[in-house]
Amino acid sequence: MAEAERIIGTPDIPEAAGDGPEQSGPDSEETAAAEQDGQRPGSEPDGAAEAEAEAGAEAGSAGKGKRKIAVLFAVAVVAYALDLISKMIVVAKLEHHEPIELVGEWLRLSAIRNAGAAFGFGEAFTIIFTCIAAAVIVVIARLARKLYSLPWAIALGLLLGGALGNLTDRLFRSPGVFEGAVVDFIAPKGFAVFNLADSAIVCGGILIVLLSFRGLDPDGTVHKD
């Protein structure tokens, strides 16, 4: 028997699973190529990951910018509405009547029509001041596209609301379009008579000066001269 087995030969025994040679194919070739490039199979290239990160950052910045623009227009709407409503009440209830004393002689409500700029200056240049107010509105609208600072949004909103309030008077009140007289009614003692639109413009201007001194730009960056 031993001699017969030696002559015939021993049949091959299949190797255990996992001990055989690795199978070659397209998948194994891609895996080997990826390992040679220092990447794990199925992972995205570093360039794609960086592009996705940049896209996410840009989307986040755009979202913040939209929120600041929303704040700007919300402040402008509130300032404009308060000015418009107050002028309607003054024209209906106070014009052609005696002034109302709020704090004795120190602060009164007295309705007047002002053809000049804020606080009664420059009555001979009504049309020029109307054009300036319109230009301010256009400039603020252009700045809004690059707005990422909340304080700047509030400041520009005050300026926009005040400019719109007085521009409405210039366009729709007598004596005519672009020459209309602004309704003023807040009369401190020893000071010019003004309205809420003037107050919004002054507050917005002061805030812009303070932000400029601090080096804060409308896009949210801070610089030091």
Residues with a known catalytic role = 184, 198
Which residue bears the tokens 């052609």? 96
Q: What Å distances lie between residue 108 and 51, 185, 190, CA to CA?
A: 62, 8, 11
Q: Tell me how far apart the alpha carbons of residues 135 and 155 are, in angstroms, rounded to a whole number.
A: 17
Q: Are 133 and 166 in contact (CB under 8 A)?
A: yes
Number of CB atoms found within 10 A of residue 218's CB: 20
Both tokens of residue 159? 């300026």
